[in-house]
Amino acid sequence: MPPAIRQTITFDRGSENVCWKELEEEFSGLSCFFVHSYSSWERGTNENTNGLIRWYLPKGTNFVTIPDEELKAVEDALNNRPRKRLGFKTP
């Protein structure tokens, strides 16, 4: 992830996120935050983006099996999608 967009990460309380301190140490300027248990609305943008990704890749998809070109195509499609919050401009 480019340093310019690597500012914060908001995690849920899953055990897969136990290495958050190492992330903060490895990536200068990165801050990690956690939502309250059973409060997915605290990560609204993330939850919305997950839904958009599911248009292209169904839940349960093993991302290791997806070619980099296909992941890049999904990334480009989402990054070039006009957003209401941005006055229908792209990010």
| Axis-axis angle for helices 68-79, 44-56 (nearest 10) | 130
Domain residue extents for the chain: 1-34, 44-86
Whether pTM exceeds 0.75: no
In the predicted model, is pLDDT for residue 77 greater than 90?
Answer: yes
Annotate 25-86 with DSSP letters as a single string.
Answer: HHSTT-EEEEPPTT-GGGGHHHHHHHHHHHHHS-TT--GGGS-HHHHHHHHHHHHTS-BGGG
More confident residue, 90 or 74: 74
pLDDT band at residue 56 using 50, 70 and 90 as cut-offs: very high
Q: Kindly report, residue by residue over 18-49, the tens digit of the pLDDT.
A: 888 888 888 878 888 888 877 767 777 777 88
% of the chain exceeding 90 in pLDDT: 31
Q: Output the CA angle 60-11-5, nearest 5 degrees.
A: 100
Average pLDDT of the chain? 83
CA 27 to chain centre: 16
pLDDT reported for residue 37? 76
Q: Could you tell me which residues are beta bridge partners of residue 32?
A: 9
